[in-house]
Every structure is written in structure tokens, then in C-alpha cells.
Structure 1
Amino acid sequence: MYNLSSLWSFHVEGNRLHGSIPDDVGSKFFPAMEDLSFANNRFTGGIPSSLSNLTTLTSLQLSTNGFTGLVPRDLGLLEADDTAGWEFITSLANCSQLLQLSLSYNYFGGQLPSSVVNLSATLQYLYLSDCPSISGSIPQDIGNLVGLSILGLANTSISGMIPSSIGKLANLVQLSLYCARLSGLIPSSLGNLTRLNWLAAYSNGLEGTVPASLGKLTKLYLLDLSANYRLNGSIPKKILLPSLSYSLNLSHNSFSGPLPPEVGNLINLNQLNLAGNQLSGRIPDTIGNCLVLESLMLDDNMLEGSIPQSLQNVEGLQVLNLTMNKLSSRIPDALSSIAALQELYLAHNNLSGLIPSSLQKLASLHTFDASFNDLQGEVPNGGVFANLTDISVTGNSKLCGGIAQLHLAPCSPHTLSNSKKDRSKSLMISLTTTGAILLLVSVLVTIWRLKQRPKSQAPPTIAEEGFQRVSYQALLRGTNGFSEFNLLGKGRYGSVYKCTLEGHDTPVAVKVFNLQQLGSSKSFQTECETLRRVRHRSLIKIITCCSSIDSRGQDFKALVIDLMPNGSLDGRLHPKYSIANNTLSLAQRLDIAVNVIDALDYLHNHCQPPIVHCDVKPSNILLTEDMSARVGDFGISRILLETADRTGQNSNSTIGIRGSIGYVAPEYGEGSPISALGDVYSLEILLLEMFTGRSPTDDMFKESVDLHRFAEAVFPDRVLEIADPTIWVHNDANDEITRSKVQECLVSVVRTGISCSKQQPRERMPIQDAAMEMHAIRDANLMFSSSIAVEHGVLIGHASTFSK
């Protein structure tokens, strides 16, 4: 083989080869070698130092073997200890085109050498996370690595201060510094990283104030500085950025002073956590501007005054924690307007008056804690208060009544009379106010109609006026008698039709359940129950439902949902007619993958109780007008009322095969209970299908070959061979740079897919890690596409100048 002087790629990974690699492999042979892999075999002995002579080498893979001894000082890959094994970092400075260096999840030890800053300025990704034995400090000249877009130093023993030169990394998109031993001040130079969208530095020893310069990070969607404990001063108004959409977490620090009214700028935020600080003053009414908040944690502070009425505007709020503050006055009735509320914590405050009976209508509420206040009167015992799984009103000596397990004294007639008077007074005020408002609205509407009568009035759209009730007859007319012309698709339990309801211009989709099919009625109930609990931008939105009698006197059940104009993902991956504008680009596939994985991460980790979809597949992924994805069809989903540790004990209710052939997790066939890891398996089979274009039920997959093994057999170096060829409709396959970048992207995606579709659940990548991986892959591809677009723009500009 040494005679093959023009050989540039040699791969034997994933076999059972053994023995040692010849010492002279790189001395005078293979002068053109660029890509060399011995990974995943049984090679032993030392790593030949002669490999460093392969000056054309761009990729070398030696992982998962039995190599012994130290890594050669001019080369390194597997392990290091103090200074003895780190010399290879110095030699890597000679790799002038190095784009990525990942040492994560290895046994590196000792101090990170300062020579890491001498790596190529083209380096885009530097991953040192999850190596707990790496110590030392972040080199002062880290700013030399000006090409970095992702820097990962999380879960290490790196200590010392964050150097100010980090502000020179102008291309940085993601900075992960969490769970290390960093200390000192947060450098104000971080404000120069204007492309940053992810900054996580929680669980360190950072101290001092948060620099206001972070307010310049207008693309940031996650900021997490929690559990540093010594960060202090007031919360800077400028960091309350509208761009923050996922999470702002400043909890468990020493912030003081009032919560700025600029908190109302967080109009796109899902999670706000300021717990465990020393915040004082009132909760500003502007908190009601945060319309998409799902979790608001303000517990363990010194906030005072009343609970803002404006919280009623945050209709999707699921968790509200105001425990251990100095809040006073009554529990406002406005909280009963938050239909999605699941957990309400008000303990250890100075609240007084009655527990509002209107809270009984909160159908999603399962946890209520108002202990240790000064509440009085009768505890509601209807609605959700009749069967709350977790209710506590301890430490309110003036309360009475309620459900039996509260063990409260029965209410005296005097108490009941006072409670009724109090409620009657509130009701009278409410009715009087409501009546006045209705009268005023009626007068205004009448005047407006008189003024508008000569003109044709366009009916309100769905976006302007949501449906509260819809009849069978309305659906019948809107679908033209459920005609084939309006049929969008059929599933296991029913059919979906396009429907235009009277008085509404925007069409909707109607899912009509076939109640003759066994299990369809249960599917309808499950989907209603699930969809009323969830609220996420990547989940299909339910508008209303209909449970009625059809024209033949039979039961009729249907869901009215948003219409997805671009159909399902299945229709795009496997179209009946292949045309260019019906295919998906690489960027679209990455966006869809991120949407789906974010939706499942939300269901598994941010819903209480968690929800398992159980049927993740392309036909259940629907596409909006801008080609973003919505996960639908919750007909066989499972709400995990038990904790993960007790799920196995509940096997009589969760056992059985749930899902579709090709996507269902293998453990379900063995009688294992439903779990989130089942969804992870289905998700990543979907991921492999999206980027290979091959269905897991393809005829080529027989006996021991399946989509997972099919992808694994060519991974990582031949992924282009299995890539969906329609990707190249949108990318230039003849451009070497583009082809290389697409291959790099596909390798990362397929790696994630393989990691999450392992046979054994415990070996699968957690959904949170998969989400982080996919976000990083998508962002890297987006940056590359943007750079190409800019480059083309410059070239076009030059051409225009020349032609003039």
C-alpha cells in the first residue's frame, strides 16, 4: 500500500482490526494523504510520531482503540496530563487551516496550555467542555482566536478571571462557561460580542455588578448567570433585551434594589428566573407586557406590595412562584384569567383576605401553595380544589373548610356569612363595572355600525377573533359537506379537511375523528387534554373543538386547528411529483429539525407533568407558510403523571407499543413503559430520514439492516453517499468549499442521529444535549451561508463597478 503515492483518503474505521500502526507510516509514505482514519478498531501500542510528517493531513481519527503510552509531543488526540501530554497543542499551531478542535468528553488533565491561543485564526469551534480534570485559567490572549464562533469551556475545573481580550472574538455566537471555577468580575468587553446569541456562565464564583455593556448583545436569546452567589448591585435595565426569547436566569445571586419597569421589554421571553436574590420594592405592572412568559420565578426576595393585576395578560403562564417575599393585600381574581396556570406558589408572604373562588376554574392547576400568610374564610372545595394533587394552606389560622385532607376546622355560619358578604360585595362591584363597560361598548359598536353601514364590512379574521364555539353544521358548510375536494389527508383515527367558516376569511383545518375506529374517541380526549396543557411556538395550535351529533344522529367529534399551507414534512421528503420548488434546502431541513427538537424538549422538560408524544414521524410534522415546523397529532400522547423513578411501577397504564412502524422505540416491543427516551429514538430516526431522504420502512431495509445501521455504516467519511440528492438542488455540488461545508454539516447531523437512535435507551443522547447540538449545527451553517452571500455581494459590486 505504501506504493500508492497519490492516495489522499484512507478509512478503515468500525472494523475489528488489531495490532499496531507501523512506526514509519508517516516517514516517507503517503505524501498526498489528507484524510486518515483508524478509529473504532482494536489497535494497540503507541501512536506513531511519524504521523506528524503527513503535512497535507487535514483529518486524523484514532479514537476508540487501545493505544497506550503518551501522545507524541508533536501530535495529540486522546489524553493528556499536566504538561507531559499537551505538547501537541503547540504543534497544532502549524495547521493553518484548522477549523474545529474538540477535546470534549475525554480524560484530559492538568493545566490548559497557553499555547492554545496560537492555534489558527481560522479556527471556528473550540470545544473543551466536559473534561472535569482540565484546570488552569483561560489564557489572557484568547482574543487571538478571532475566527471562533463557538467556545465551550463548561464542566471543567478552569479557574481564574474571564480575560478582557475575550471581547475581541467578534464572530462568537455561543459562549459556554458554566459549571467551572471562574471568579472575579464579568469583563465589560463581552459587550463587543454583538453576534452572541448564547451566554451561559452559571455555577461559578463570579462577583461584582453585571456590566451594562451586555445590553449591546441584541441577538442574545439566552443569558444565564445564575448560582454565582456574589453577583450584586441592581439588575441593569439595558440587559432586559427584547431579543431574549428562551431564558433569562439571574437567580441565586445577590442582586438588590427594585425590579426595573423595563422588565416589560421582555416581550418574547419564555422563562424569567430572578429567585434567590435581595430584590425589593413592588413588582412592576409592566410584567404584564411579557405575553409569552411560561415560567416566572421571583421567590426568595424582598418584594412587597400587591400582586400585579396585569399578570392576567400573560395567558400562557404555567408556573408562577412568588414564595418568600413581603407581598401583601389580597390574592387577585385576575390570576384566574391565566388559563394555562399549572403551579401557583404564594407561601411565606403577608397576603390576606379570601382565597378567590374563581381559581376553581383553572382546569390545568395542579399545585397550589399559599401557606404561612394571613388568609381567612372558607377554602374553595370545587373545581380543581376538589382534587388538587398538591395543595398547602398551612399556617393560615383563620382559614376553614376545604377538602378533607387539609384537616381544617369546619366554617362557622358567621364565617360563611362574612365570606358570602365579601364575595357578594366583590361580585356586585364586578357586575356593576362589567355592566357599565358592556353598555359603553354596546353604544360605541352601534355608533360605529351606523357610520360603517354604507361600506362593505370585511368579516373578522381568526387572528382578530378566536372561536369559542363551533357547531357541526358550521363545519359541514365550511368543508362543503366534508368533500373530497377539501380533504387534506387521512390518518389512523380520522381525516383532516380544509374549512372556511362563515364570517372568517382565513381557512382552518378540521380533524374529524372516525368514531367507528377503535380507540378514536380516546384519541380525541387525549389530544384535547394534551393540547390544552401546552403552549409552544413549534406545537400545532388548537383553536377549538366540536363534540356534537351529525346529520345521521351519530356522535361527531372534531378538532379545529391552524391550517398549515405547506402540508406535512412527509410530503416534502417523499413527494409524489419531484419538482425543484417542492424540495427542501439544507438550511430548511436544519430549521425544521431545530423546531421539532425544541418542541420535544419543551414537552419533556418544561411541561409539568411531562408529556411524551409517542408518534414522532414526518406526517405529523406540519409546515407553515415560512416553512417552519409545527408538531401535531397528540392522539396517542402520554401525560406522565408519575415521576421518572416511578414510571416503571405504573407499567399497567403505560406499557405497550405506541407509535408507527419504523419510528417506534425498540424497548416498547419488549414491554418497557412509555418514556421520553422513546420520543428521542423516534426523533432521531426522523432526523436521519430528513437528511438521507430514505424512509425507515424503505424496501431496502430488511432483516438486520435498518436506517440507523445504514447511516452508521458510512459514518463519518462517506455521508455524502447517503445524503438526499435533492439537497444539491439548492447547493452547488461542484463548488469545493460548499461541498466540504455541506459534508461537515451532514456529519454533525448524522452523528446526532446515530447517538439518539441507539437500541438501548440509556445510551441515547439526552434531548437537551441534542437540542444544543442541532442549534449549534444550524447556526454554523447559517454563518457560512451568510458569509457566502456577503462574498457574492462584494463580487457583484466589483463587477458592477468594472462594467461602469
Structure 2
Amino acid sequence: MHRPSLLLLLPLFLCLVPGGTPTTGEELQILLQFKASLETAADSTAFRSWDAGNPTCSFDGIRCDSNGSVSEIDLTGAGISGEIPFDSLCRLPSLSALSLGSNGLHGAISDDLRNCTGLRRLDLAFNHLAGAVPDLVPLDKLQVLNLSDNAITGAFPWSSLAGLTDLEVLSVGDNPFDPSPFPEVVLSLTKLNRLFLSDSNIHGEIPPSIGNLTELIDVEIGDNFLTGGIPPEIAKLSKLWQLEMYNNSFTGTIPAGFGNLSLLAFFDASMNQLEGDLSELRSLTNLISLQLFQNDLSGEVPPEFGDFRYLTNFSLYTNRFNGTLPAKLGSWTEFNYIDVSSNFFTGGIPPDMCKKGAMTKLLILENRFTGEIPASYANCSSLVRFRVSNNSLSREVPAGLWSLPNLNILDLAINQFEGPIGVGIGNAKSLYQLYLADNRFSGQLPLELGEAESIVSIDLSHNEFSGEISASIGGLKNLVSLDFESNTFSGAIPDAIGSCISLSSVNLANNNLSGPIPTSLGELTRLNSLDLSDNQLSGEIPGSLTTLKLSSFDLSNNRLTGAVPAGLDIAAYSSSLAGNPGLCIDGVGANNLSSLRRCSAAQSGTSDGLRTILTCIFSVAAVFLAFLGLYIVLKKRRAAACGGGGGDGSVVKDVSWDMKSFRILTFDEQEIVDAIKPDNLIGKGGSGEVYKVELASGEVVAVKQIWCDPVGGAKERSTTAMLVARGRRRPAAREFEAEVGTLSAVRHVNVVKLYCSITSDECRLLVYEHLPKGSLWDRLHGSTAAKMEELGWEERYEIAVGAARGLEYLHHGWDRPILHRDVKSSNILLDDCLKPRIADFGLAKVLQSAASGGAGEASSAHVIAGTHGYIAPEYGYTWKVNEKSDVYSFGVVLMELVTGRQPIEAEYGEDKDIVYWVTRRMSSRESVAAVVDGRIPERAREEAVKVLRVAALCTARLPAMRPSMRTVVQMLEEAASGRALAAIISKGEKAELGVSMAEGKRVNE
């Protein structure tokens, strides 16, 4: 028989070839469709060679196998965005590697991924992917799975990893997965060498079987909810090079056998509850970075640490360590920083930590160090921060330390240092904070101090400085805070102080200063606090001071004479002017400052005859006004008795109103009450309604009507229909008055003025200054383009700093903090110059007292706690709040300022907010920059990113991790000075964040 021809069998072979397998031409079409489905950044060259006229294997980012079929796609950091078309990509039959990390890809990872069965490497990290991860069972050839730093939600399919036995890299951290126990299935993947599960919502204890993963080099499980002890089985991981366990709830000691990890270079177990000592670490000679801050560790630092030749970062702050630091610590390599603040260390400062000239930060605040500052640090030109406050250090400061060129902060406060400030201070061109308070420094201030032009804050209080304050101080144009209290300075206050145009606070109290108060102080438009008390100042109080908006003012115990200028003759300043026998008061102010004598005719400049005439005129006017007021009241009461109503529909009845004024007023309660009508309504909120009231005097005020309650016929007793109740329980007058009394004492340039309260049995009115430019919310999110254009970056930054200062004052300017409880952009109002004022401060507490009906704390737990989008996460599990909840809300406001976005937008995803959206993008410089509002110019973007990082600190999940508002103000001021923030958000920079938190502690306490 004839054999059949092979050609006759060809159709049979073709039938056996899978119909879905693309040819080379089809692969080209798949890639071109992939290109077409994505967008690229303007400067991206990712697809420049992706042209139908070029061979597929020559495309940038494409590799082919020996048969010319596409095997790898690598477009990492290529500037592409859009959704990944897995349905077509997974039709590439030879595709073994798909690397699309560090781009702007979004959307869900579709189930089509399961068709990429040949994948060995899948890297989609640092994108904006959302949705859930599909089952990964078919991808059993995977060796690298990297989905970290996205916005992936839902339950991660841990069980589907069981068959991925070739997996070497598992990196799925920094995603908001549903909470789950530590995935034991992972511990069966014995080829793993990198495990990254940080910030992935896992909880519970680490199983002992982690000791089976002996190939592990890198384990990162920080920022989760893990508990229990560090399993001793970790000591079996002899290849381990990096171990990060920070920000969990680990307890117990560092387990025995830890010293076997001889290759360990990076160890971070900070922010846990570990105890015991460091003896198990004494043999880890390859350590580069050791981060154990914020635990409960104790004992001494092993002397062997002094021989660690690679150690560059060393942070143990906020523990209970004692003893001395090894003398050779940090002397072997390019040591970067040390932070051992808030412990009980004794002895001297190790002298050679800057031996290699690379040290940037020396932070040993709040310990018991003794001796002098080693002379070697005077030559450490790399130093950025030198903070040794609150120790027992002594003797003179090495001369060169004053002039270090890169030093930002020099903090020597609360020690026993002596001697003068070195003349080299003029060369410290980067210095912006100088803290020398509570020492024994002496001598005259060097003229060169005025050349340190970057200084923002100087505190020399409680020392022995003497001599005159040089006029050279006028060169400090950036100076915000000046504190020379309790020294022996003499001579006149230099007129040049008026050139320090940024000054907000001046304290020269308790010195031997003499001569007149310089009129130039009145030129300091930002001045908020002025204390010149307990000196020998003479002459008259300059009238220029009346133009200032001071929240704190003290001229007491001097030798001032003459009449108190109008504007300073108010009751609130009575104690501020005491101890000046030569001062007198005249005119209206005589009733406010009864402690001062009345001025003589010569002092007041008024003749006896003219005085008599004026007295008669005022007396007649007073009698006339009294009769006029009585006539108006009687007329309204007659109208009420007849059931008459106002033209606006208001019902006027016999009600007793009580007005408590906190400032000089140009109106009475009836003028305010009569203006509460629909035409004047300008806003509503959870706390009540706001009315704009134009007074007969021409002044405009804002009236906040706290929600009232009809009890026993309140409708009939209301003076106006607009004051009818809104359905809450009857206010408790005593608690309300107590809270309002506290708020009335607030005096700050960045806080809205409260003029008075007006109350009846059922209603509560608060009268504030009116701010004409509306709220920050209006300016950022308003409907008109003009509103948006008004806020350039400079204005946004000034608003951020000003609002922060206002909150700082509320939190730190009182014996106990005043909590705002509802910080948001609509509660930050703007004046004519777009300067911010905090509004509705403490109003939630006022409402609480109004709602409690005198029921005490038991009924206060569920009162207003903020606005959706601004509410701190701890409200989800506790009703207890403190100032850190305000800090969180302020962080949201900062994010609004930098991004131009609202706290809640559909783009963020269901149940997501701006904090989630921003923090997901804080992992790389490129993605951070992309978050910044496009209207902010390129030259300001670096500064904007720094502010955004402050915002990220403020919105930390744990309240204890958030800085105080005082620290926030400092960091914001640093951002404007072009200084590097001591706070980095990304995982790789997390250690630096710890440094910033430690430094903030001094201020917090």
C-alpha cells in the first residue's frame, strides 16, 4: 500500500494547534492595543519604539525568547497610566515576566490574570490598583509576586498561595486588605527570601513555623496589629539581613539566640511594648541601623556596640535605658545620627561619632548626661541638628559649634553651660532655632548674632546675659519668636527691633532695661504676644501699640508714665499695666482700669473749663440715651401685650436676655436679637445657624445661634420667630457659661474674636467678629474660578502656618488644652488679607454642655465629634478625644491645601477619604509630586511636598504617632526655610520619622 502523503496530514496537525495561540503578527497587535489602552506622561518615552514598522522584539521594555515570542514586558517607572488589559496580555503564550511597577496604573486586577499561567514574575507595585486580588492558584510558576503599595482591598487570597511553591519574593504590603490573622500558608513557602507584609492589616501572633523559612533575607512585617512575643524561632533565619517589626504590639524580651543572626544589618522593632535589655544583640557586628525607640527596654547599651564598625543609625529614644554610652560608639564608619532622647543615660557624650564627618543629627534630649560637649563636634560641619537639652552638661560650649554652616537647630537648654555666645554665630547661615534657656550663659550678645539671618526662634531666657541688646538684631528678618526673659540686659530696647518684621512673640521680661518703649514695636503687624514686664522702662506707652492685635500683653512693674492710650484702656489689661505708679487713665477707660488714677488736666491735655463743658455734655447725653432706651423697651412691651408682630414675622414677647461682654461693644443685645431673621442667614451647620448682622455703627458681626429647645412653651416666650427651638435637650446654663467663659479669654491673631454671649432660658447666641473673605473651604472648593485663582502657593502656605499657630495657641497656651473638636477648612475663616482665623473653637464642648442638661460626663460621650472626612480614626473605637484628634483633622486640612481636593471624593473609592488617597501615593518622589495640585507652580512643589509630609504625620493612624501642634508649627516653618523635614513617610525613610517624633517630645511636654 501507498503511504499517505505528509501534505494530506497537514490539516490534521493544524486542527491540533490551539486556535487561541497568537502568531508573531498577532503578538504585535496585542502590544499595540496595550499601548493604545494606556496614557503616558508628557515626558515619557516608554512607547517611542512601539511602532508597527519595527520588529516586536525591538520595542523598548520587550524581551523575546529564542523563538521570537514575547517573554518579558518591563515598563517599570515608564510614566504610564490607565487600566491593565490582562485579557489581551495573558494571550501572549510565552509571557513569563510582567513588570509594570511605579506607574499610575489604576482599576482592578481582573480575573483574566489567571490566564497568565506561564508567569514567573509579576510586579505591579507602586501603582493605584484597587479592588480585590483574584485567586492565584493557576499561577503556580510564580517566583516573584509584588503587589505592594497600591490601594487593593478585600480579603487577600492567602490560601491560593499554597501551590506557589517556587515563590521567592512575596511583597503585598502597604495595601488596606481586610483584617486577617498572620497567614500560616506563607510559612510553607520554603524558597522565600523576601517577605514584605507591612501595613497589610494582619493581626495575631507569628507562628513558630516561621523558623522553617531558612532562605529568608528580608522580613518586613511592620505597621500591623501583631501581638505576643517575638518568636525565638526567628533566630534560625541565619541569612537574615533585614528585620522590620515596627509599630505592632509585640511584648516580652528580645529572644535568646538572636545573636545567631550574624548577617543582620537592619533591625527595627520600634513602637512596640518590648522590655528587657540588649544583651542578645551584643554580637551583631554587621548592624548598620538599629531602631528600638518607643518601647520599655532598659539596662545599659552593651560595650560591644562601640566596636560595631558599620553602625550608622542608632535610635533608642523613649525607653528606660541607663548607664553610659560606649566611648567608641559611631567612630568606625560614616555615622549618620543618634537619638537616645528620653532615657536615663549618664556619663559623657561619646566624642567620635562625627569622626568621619558624616553625622547629621545628635539628639540626646532628656537624659542625665554630664561633662562638657566634646571639642570634636565643633568641627562637625555636616551637623544639621544638635539637641542636648535637659541634661546636666556644663562648662563652655566649643567655639566652633556656634558657627557650623549646616546647623538648623542648636538646642542646649536646661543644662549648666556657661560663658558667652561665640562670635562665630554670624556664620551659622542655616540656623533657625537657637535654644539656650535655663543655663548660666553670660556676657554680652555678640553683634554677629544679627548676621544669622535664617533664625526663626531664639530662647535665651533664664541665663546671666548682660549689657545692651545690640541694634544688629534688626537684621533678623525671619525671626518669629524672641525670648530674653530673666537675664540682666540693660540699656534701651533698640529701635531696630521694629525691623524684625516676622516677629510674633517678644518676651524681654525681668531684665534691667530702661528708657522708652520703642514706637517701632507698633510696626510689627504680626506681633501677637508682648511682655516687657519687670524692667525699668520709662516714658509714655506709645500709641502705636494700639494698632497691634495682641493676645498677650504685659507692661507691668516698670516706670511708665502718662495717660494709657485709648485702645489699651480695657479691663482685660488691668494687671498688664499694674506696678507703674506714673500711669493714669482718662475718658471711657477710667471705668475699665479703676486701679489706675485719673489723669490730671496737664496729663490729659484738657483745660478745667473744657473738662467741665465735656462733663456736662456727656451727662446730658447719658440721661437722654437712658430715657430713649426705656421708651423703646416700654413700647415693645406694649406691642407684645397686644400680640403685635414684627414685619418679618417675628413674635416679640417679654423675655429676659442676659448679655455677657468680653470686649468693648458698640451694640446691645436687642440689636442682635432683632437681626436674627432669614434675610441675614449666611450658614447652617450641626451646631446651629450663622447670621451676618450689620450694626447701626457700621460694624459687621457674625452671630452663631446655638440650637435652642422649646421647653414649656418656649415658642410663646421667644423674642423672634427665628429663635424657635430645633429639637435638642434644654441647655444647662451653668455648664454653658463656664465653657463660654473659657473661650472668651482666648486672644490670638489666628483665632476668631468672641465679642459676647447673649442668653435666655431657651436660647444661646455667640457674637463673633465677621471675616469678609469667607472660609478656606470656599476658596479651595468654591464654584467660581476666581475663588480658586486667589490662592497661590504663598497664600496657601501662610494659611497653613497661621491656622497651625491658632491651634497651637488653643492646645498649648493654657493650663489645659482647649480642644476644637471640629477642625475643618470651613472653620478656617479669612480676613481681607487672606490671613486665617480659627472659628468655632471649643464649640463642640459648648454644645456638649448645652446638650447634657447638667447630667455630667455620663451624658457627654456622644456629642459632636467632628465632620465626616476630618474625623480621626480613634472615634471608631473610643469616644475619648484629646488634642491629637484635632491634629488629625488639621492634617486633612493641610492635604486639602496641597492637593486642592476635598476630603471625600468618589475617586478615592467607596468608604475612602483623602488621607487614604494621599498616603497610598507617598511611597515615591514621583507619585508624591503627582498628588500636588496642578495649579501650584513648579518652583513651589518641593515646599508643597514637605507640607504634605507634615500632613501625613498629622494623620498617623495612632494618636501617639501624631506630633503636637507646636511641633507642626515648627515643621511648617522649616518647610518654608527650605530645610529638610525631619519626618519622612515612606517605608525606606521611616527611621527619620522617628527622629522627628523624638524632637517633638521636648515641645510636647
* Partner AA of 1:248 in structure 2: L
Q: SS of the counterpart of 1:182?
A: strand
The correspondence of residues 47-446 of structure 1 with structure 2, limited to 5 A, is: 47-49=280-282, 51-53=284-286, 60=291, 64=295, 70-71=301-302, 72-73=305-306, 74=308, 75=311, 77-78=315-316, 85-91=326-332, 93-95=333-335, 98=336, 100-118=337-355, 120-121=357-358, 123-124=359-360, 126-228=361-463, 230-241=464-475, 243=477, 246-303=480-537, 305-310=538-543, 312-327=545-560, 329-330=561-562, 332-337=563-568, 341-351=572-582, 355-356=585-586, 358-360=588-590, 375=597, 425=607, 428=610
Distance in 2 (alpha carbons) for counterparts of 1:614 and 1:569: 21
Going from structure 1 to structure 2, the CA distance change for 1:425 and 1:605 (only over 3 Å counts) comes to farther
Deviation at 1:770, TM superposition (A): 5.0
Q: Aligned residue for 2:219?
A: 10
Q: Does 1:682 align with 2:886?
A: yes
Distance of aligned partners of 1:84 and 1:156 in 2 relative to their CA distance in 1, 3 Å threshold:
closer
Provide structure 1 residue ranges, at least 5 long, that are not aligned to the other structure: 378-417, 436-466, 548-554, 641-647, 733-737, 786-804
| 1:562 counterpart SS class | coil
Does residue 235 of structure 2 align to residue 22 of structure 1? yes
From the CA coordinates, give the structure whose radius of gyration is larger.
Answer: 2
Whole-angstrom distance in 1 between the partners of 2:910 and 2:595: 54
**C-alpha spacing 1:423/1:279, structure 2 compared with 1 (3 Å):** closer
- In 1, Cα distance between equivalents of 2:817 and 2:273: 40
Partner of 2:645: none
Cα shift at 1:193? 1.6
Match of 1:562 in 2: 771
Tell me by how many angstroms 1:280 deviates.
2.7
Secondary structure, aligned partner of 1:160: strand
The 1-side partners of 2:541 and 2:942 are apart by 55
Q: Distance in 2 between matches of 1:27 and 1:653?
A: 54
Q: CA–CA distance in 1 between the matches of 2:480 and 2:286?
A: 47
Measured in 2, the distance between the counterparts of 1:193 and 1:571 equals 39
Q: For residues 159 and 81 of structure 1, what CA distance do their matches in structure 2 show?
A: 20
Alpha-carbon separation, structure 2, partners of 1:29 and 1:556: 61
Query: Which amino acid in the other structure matches residue 22 of structure 1?
Result: A
Match of 1:538 among 750, 766, 769: 750
User: Which residue identity does 1:94 align to in structure 2?
Assistant: E
Is the Cα contact below 8 Å between 1:246 and 1:270 reproduced in 2? yes
Which of residues 688, 698, 714 in structure 2 aligns to 1:493?
A: 688
Q: For 1:175, what is the secondary structure of its paired residue?
A: strand
C-alpha distance after superposition, 1:575-627 (max 9, x if no partner): 9999xx89999999887654333111223444799854343234323578998
Distance 1:156 1:213 in 2: 28
Residue 783 (structure 1) shift: 7.6
Which of 555-564 and 163-172 deviates more? 555-564
* Greater shift in the superposed pair: 210-219 or 598-607: 598-607
**SS at structure 2 position matched to 1:178:** coil
What CA deviation, in whole Å up to 9, does each residue of 1:4-56 have, x standing for no partner?
557775323452332456398468899998865333265866343564426xx
Q: SS of the counterpart of 1:151?
A: strand
Q: Does the CA contact (< 8 Å) of 1:340 and 1:533 recur in 2?
A: no
What secondary structure sits across from 2:437 in the alignment?
Answer: coil
Q: Are residues 545 and 356 of structure 1, via their aligned partners in 2, closer, same or farther at CA, if it must alter by over 3 Å?
A: closer
Distance in structure 1 (CA, Å) of the matches to 2:739 and 2:349: 52
AA paired with 1:103? V
Between the two proteins, what is the percent identity of the paired residues?
21
Query: Per the alignment, in what secondary structure is the counterpart of residue 158 of structure 1?
Result: strand
Partner residue in 2 for 1:728: 930
Note the C-alpha offset of 1:211.
Answer: 0.4
Contact 1:546 1:559 in 2 (8 A): no
The aligned amino acid for 1:89 is G
In structure 2, relative to structure 1, the CA distance for the partners of 1:218 and 1:338 (3 Å cut) is: farther
AA of the residue aligned to 2:826: S
Q: 1:482 offset after TM fit, Å? A: 7.1
The Cα of 1:564 is off from its aligned counterpart by 3.8
Change (3 A) 1:492 1:742: closer
| Number of the residue aligned with 2:4 | none
CA contact (8 A) 1:617 1:682 kept: no
Q: Which residue of 2 aligns with 1:406?
A: none
Shift of 1:133: 1.2
TM-score (norm 1): 0.61
**Secondary structure of 2:891's match?**
helix
Q: Structure 1 residues 671, 488: closer, same or farther in 2, change over 3 A?
A: closer
SS in 1 for 2:966: helix
Letter aligned with residue 589 of structure 2: L
Deviation at 1:252, TM superposition (A): 1.1
Aligned residues: 647
What is the rounded CA distance, in whole Å, between the counterparts of 1:772 and 1:148 in structure 2? 19
Change over 3 Å in CA distance of 1:756–1:268 after alignment to 2 = farther
Q: C-alpha distance in 2, partners of 1:34/1:622?
A: 51
> If the length of structure 2 is used for normalisation, what is the TM-score?
0.51
Q: Is the 8 A contact 2:331 2:354 kept in 1?
A: no
Checking the alignment, whether the CA contact within 8 Å between 1:680 and 1:756 is kept in structure 2 is no
CA contact (8 A) 1:636 1:658 kept: no
- Unpaired segments ≥5 residues, structure 2: 1-167, 169-189, 196-216, 244-261, 618-664, 706-721, 759-763, 848-853, 935-939, 984-1005
**Residue 204 of structure 1: CA displacement?**
0.7
Q: Give, in angstroms, the shift of residue 727 of structure 1.
A: 5.8
Cα distance in 2 between the residues matched to 1:293 and 1:739: 29
Q: Which residue of structure 2 aligns with residue 802 of structure 1? A: none
What is the CA-CA distance between 1:527 and the residue it aligns to?
12
How far did residue 239 of structure 1 move? 1.3
In structure 2, give the amino acid aligned to 1:493.
Answer: G
For the pair 1:616 / 2:823, whether they are aligned, the reply is: yes
Q: Is the 8 A contact 2:550 2:749 kept in 1?
A: no
* Aligned-residue CA RMSD (Å): 6.3
Note the alpha carbon deviations across 1:222-258, whole angstroms, 9 max, x for none: 2211100x21111111114563653222121111223
Q: How has the CA–CA distance of structure 1 residues 428 and 219 changed in structure 2, closer, same or farther, with 3 Å as cutoff?
A: farther
Out of 863, 866, 870, the residue aligned to residue 660 of structure 1 is 866
Change (3 A) 1:201 1:730: same
What is the aligned partner in structure 2 of residue 631 from structure 1? 838
One-letter amino acid of the structure 1 residue matched with residue 458 of structure 2: L
| Offset of residue 183 of structure 1 | 0.9
Q: CA deviation digits over 1:351-398, x for unaligned, max 9? A: 27x654532565xx8xx866xxxx589xxxxxxxxxxxxxxxxxxxxx
Q: Distance in 1 between matches of 2:757 and 2:945?
A: 48
Q: CA deviation at 1:655?
A: 8.9
Superposed CA deviations along residues 625-678 of structure 1, whole A, max 9, x for unmatched, are 9987542234826699xxxxxxx9997999983543666798999998xxxx74
Preserved CA contact (<8 Å) 1:290 1:314: no
Give the drift of 1:185: 1.1
Question: How far apart, in 2, do the equivalents of 1:27 and 1:9 lie?
Answer: 6
Q: 1:113 to 1:281 in 2, by over 3 A?
A: same
2:926 & 2:752 partners in 1: Cα distance? 27
1:162–1:541 Cα change, 3 Å: same
1:712-751 equivalences in 2 (<5 Å): 720=922, 728-730=930-932, 750-751=952-953
Aligned to 2:711: none
Query: In the alignment, residue 885 of structure 2 is paired with which amino acid?
Result: Y
* Alpha-carbon distance, 1:147 to partner: 3.6
